[in-house]
Amino acid sequence: MALLIATPTAVLFCALALVLTNVYAPKAAPPREVSAVELMAKLLPDIEKTVNIYAYKDAEIVELRVLRDGAPRVSGVLKNKTDRVISVECDIDLANVDGSRISTATERVEKAPALSSMPFEFPVHNPETVYALVRKMRTVQ
């Protein structure tokens, strides 16, 4: 008699325990990862209207290095992307071995031939210079 009462009661308690602990509940899908574009659109919705990044398109420096054999100097190659001869002025940051900016230089590459590359070189007046970084370029007459 006790077995007839205890068995259904135990089954009922087990069923209630399974239902209340959500063992058989459907699993929720993991949250979708937000892409970088969506995150930027959410954080800065008007970025295209407020920020204008100017990119110089007439020429580019395809190679730039600091030569330290003898007196230090910056050497590089300027590629003219236009169909005319241009002169380009470059603002260059000069850095030491730690990457700290130690000085700047503004140099001019004269008469770069149309649609071709032209090597250039200029002296550096700070002997600690190890790195060079082009900050800004502009066409000059």
Q: Say yes or no: 44 and 64 in one domain.
A: no
Q: Express each pLDDT in 27-41 by its tens digit.
A: 777 888 888 888 888
Tokens of 116: 């071709």
Domain that holds residue 86: 59-140
Q: Say yes or no: 42 and 63 in one domain.
A: no
Rounded-to-integer distance, Cα 64 and Cα 72, Å: 13
Q: Express each pLDDT in 77-128 by its tens digit.
A: 999 999 999 999 999 999 999 999 999 999 999 999 999 999 999 999 888 9
Rounded-to-integer distance, Cα 128 and Cα 120, Å: 21
Strand pairing partners for 75? 65, 121
- Provide the number of structural domains found in the chain: 2
E strand intervals along the chain: 59-67, 73-80, 86-95, 101-112, 117-123, 131-140
Q: What is the pTM of this model?
A: 0.61
